[in-house]
């Protein structure tokens, strides 16, 4: 009888030790995972002098735009705008529309990026017939790469800060300007001067 009770007591003690060790290992595993997660470095924001990584986004017509598919020896102007609802952005894109032939003469193309949906961008483009693609970055993949997420959501939705990024033909970032407000934008002439600077450095 006593031997039976002793064996049962040992079994209970062994079980407690087993689950105690199991709990300790599990706790150390969670701590290790959390430590790895907290020590992971966020992706660095792309700045002037960095090589722009390739990206692909869908435009207002459902066509896929691939940055590295741009013509060889051509540069790219990336316009990050807040959305089609923004009057300042609309004015900016219209000014760029009329200046677009000047950009092409300097062998630069242009793409405009916002968090607008494909349907919203389609309606916007149908109204104004922009000669360049309106790219949809609803998940802010490219916007975040350039550090352009506006910390103040619009109607509960994160959007891009107004910004202009100009890439050399080798995809290196030559120019980056982030507006302090919707009206703080480079003029068409300022953009053209930057394009001419890039062409001079190549000659």
Are 114 and 147 within one domain? yes
Percent of the chain at pLDDT exceeding 70: 79
188-197: per-residue pLDDT in tens?
A: 999 999 999 9
Are 135 and 176 within one domain? yes
Are 194 and 107 within one domain? yes
Total domains, the chain: 2
pLDDT of residue 47: 98
The overall average pLDDT reported for the chain is 86
As a whole number of angstroms, the distance between CA 117 and CA 61 comes to 11
Are 60 and 146 within one domain? yes
Are 31 and 61 within one domain? no
How buried is 143 (Cβ within 10 angstroms: 0-12 exposed, 13-18 middle, 19+ buried)?
Answer: buried
Q: Does 5 have pLDDT greater than 80?
A: no
Are 157 and 93 within one domain? yes
Are 61 and 134 within one domain? yes
Yes or no: say if 181 and 203 are a contact pair by the CB < 8 Å rule: no
Average pLDDT (168-186) is 98
40-84: per-residue pLDDT in tens?
A: 345 799 999 999 999 999 999 999 999 999 999 999 999 999 999
Q: Is the pTM of this model over 0.75?
A: yes
Are 60 and 27 within one domain? no
pLDDT of residue 15: 52
- Structural domain including 128 reads 56-202
CATH (domain of 103): 3.40.30.10
117-134: per-residue pLDDT in tens?
A: 999 999 999 999 999 999
């Amino acid at each position: 009888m006593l031997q039976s009770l002793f064996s049962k007591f040992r079994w209970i003690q062994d079980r407690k030790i087993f689950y105690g060790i199991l709990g300790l290992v599990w706790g150390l595993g969670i701590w290790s995972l959390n430590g790895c997660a907290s020590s992971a470095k966020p992706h660095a924001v792309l700045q002037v002098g960095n090589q722009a990584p390739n990206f692909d986004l869908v435009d207002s017509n459902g066509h896929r735009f691939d940055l590295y598919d741009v013509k060889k020896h051509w540069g790219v102007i990336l316009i990050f705008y807040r959305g089609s609802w923004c009057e300042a952005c609309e004015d900016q894109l219209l000014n760029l529309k009329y200046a677009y032939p000047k950009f092409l003469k300097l062998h630069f193309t242009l793409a405009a990026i916002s968090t607008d949906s494909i349907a919203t961008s389609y309606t916007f483009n149908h109204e104004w017939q922009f000669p360049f693609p309106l790219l949809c970055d609803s998940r802010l993949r490219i916007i975040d790469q350039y550090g352009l997420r506006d910390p103040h959501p619009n109607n509960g939705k994160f959007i891009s800060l107004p910004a202009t990024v100009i890439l050399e033909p080798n995809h290196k970032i030559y120019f980056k300007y982030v507006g302090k407000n919707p009206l703080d934008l480079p003029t068409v002439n300022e953009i053209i001067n930057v394009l001419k600077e890039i062409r001079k450095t190549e000659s």
